[in-house]
Amino acid sequence: MPFSTLIDAVVSPQSEARLLSGPQLSLRDNAWAAEGVGVPGFIPGNRIVTSNLWLQAGGDKTHLHCDGKPGILGLLHGEKEIALFPPGDWRSLYPSRDAGGEHWSRVDFWQPDESAFPRFRDASPLRVTLRAGEMLFVPVTWWHCVRTVRPSIALNCWWVEPEAEIDDVYQHLWGFGAI
């Protein structure tokens, strides 16, 4: 299928977009998807770890997690709701570490089981609605999850900051270990 047809299917409210939803296209590995897509000038090109193009239908959700690198999410089309938790909330989010090094919450933010995870009610999320043309910076150690409100096309990237530039507090919080 030509890329333009895929884009039309994702953004069309009448399509079977749910069947096409979710492709995460690495811009490094898929040069055809990266054509004409740049990275914000405030990120030195030699620090970029990865960048992705996301095509998602309305209703798609991500699980609550935090990344080990700072990142941005730029919305090209559609609308997304993002819940962000400051680093100090980590105990209330019941973290676990996967083999890839990312931290995932055992709590389903979108349908929390407060009897299984009682500390979750102590967390204080910031809720943001991101619309086409807007960009969100997600600092390292900030927990987040995303719900696609309307079919969307988004671009995100993560980059490396030299350790000397990362505050000692973040380094301490990132190494929280198992609880």
CATH of the domain at 87: 2.60.120.650
One-letter identity of residue 13: P
pLDDT value at residue 169: 45
pLDDT value at residue 70: 87
**Nearest CA-CA partner of 138 in 63, 86, 92, 175:** 86
In a domain? residue 115: yes
**Range(s) of the domain holding residue 61:** 3-174
In a domain? residue 78: yes
pLDDT value at residue 86: 94
In a domain? residue 168: yes
In a domain? residue 19: yes
CA separation for the pair 170, 123 (Å, rounded)? 18
Which residues of the chain are under the pLDDT cut of 50? 17-21, 30, 32-34, 164, 168-169, 172, 174, 176-179
Stated pTM of the model = 0.73
In a domain? residue 179: no
Split into its structural domains, the chain has a count of: 1
pLDDT value at residue 161: 73
In contact, 94 and 117? CB cutoff 8 Å: yes
